Structure 1
C-alpha cells in the first residue's frame, strides 16, 4: 500500500472499530494526522467519518437482526432503557448523538432494534459524526 494512503486507511479502521461496541481512539489519531499535515484534511475527514459511520451502521444492523429474535423487553440494561426512551421521544433525530462516548453505541443498537428507518438513521448518524470530526480537525488543524 502506498505510504500516502497508510494514514487515511489506518484512520478508517480506527474509526470503524471506535464506533462499534469496542473502544477506540480515532479522534486522537485524527488529531495527530491533521497536525502532521501530510494528508489532505478532506481525505482524513472523509476516512474518519466513513469508518465511524460504517461501524455505527453495523451496530444498528446488529440491533435490527436481534429484534426478530428477542423481545423488546429484553432491553433491560440502564443504557438501553435510556436510549430507548430517547429514541422513542426524538426518533431518528436522536441519532445525531451517536458520536457520544458510552451512549452512542446503545443508541445505534436500540435504533436498529426499534426498526428506525435505515436511510433516516444513516443521515442522522453521518451528520453527527461528520460534525464531531470537523470539530477535531478545527481544533488541531
Structure 2
C-alpha cells in the first residue's frame, strides 16, 4: 500500500503537474488527479471496512473472555469505543462552520466544514491520547523495573 501511494503521488507530482486548468489558467490541473482521488477513496473505504471488521471480530471474541490475565478486556473495549464516539459527536457539534475562502471562491457547505473539523480535531486528540498512554506505560514500566 505504501509503495502504491508513493507511486501515485510520484505520478501526480512529476508528470503533468503544471498543466493549466482550462477554466482558469492561474490554477494547475494535474494529469493524475483522478487516479489520486480514486486511490484515496479506496484507502478510505478499505480503512473503514477494516475498522468495522476489527470491531466486530474483537467484540465477538471478547464476549467469552471478560478478563484476560487480570485485564478487563471487555470493559476496556467498550469504554474505548464509547469515548471515541463521544469525542466524534462532541467535535462535530463544536466544530466550526464559518465559510472559507478557497481558491478565490467562498466555500460554505455547512456539513463538510463541520465534518472536516470533526475529523481533524478528533485525530489530534487521539494522537495526544496515544502519546499520553505511551508515556504513562513507559513510566509505569520503569517504576516496576526499579
**TM-score band, normalised by shorter chain:** 0.3 to 0.5
More helix by share: 1
TM-score, length-scaled by structure 1: 0.36
The structure showing larger relative contact order (alpha-carbon pairs under 8 Å, at least 6 residues apart) is 1
TM-score, length-scaled by structure 2: 0.35
Larger radius of gyration: 2
More strand by share: 2
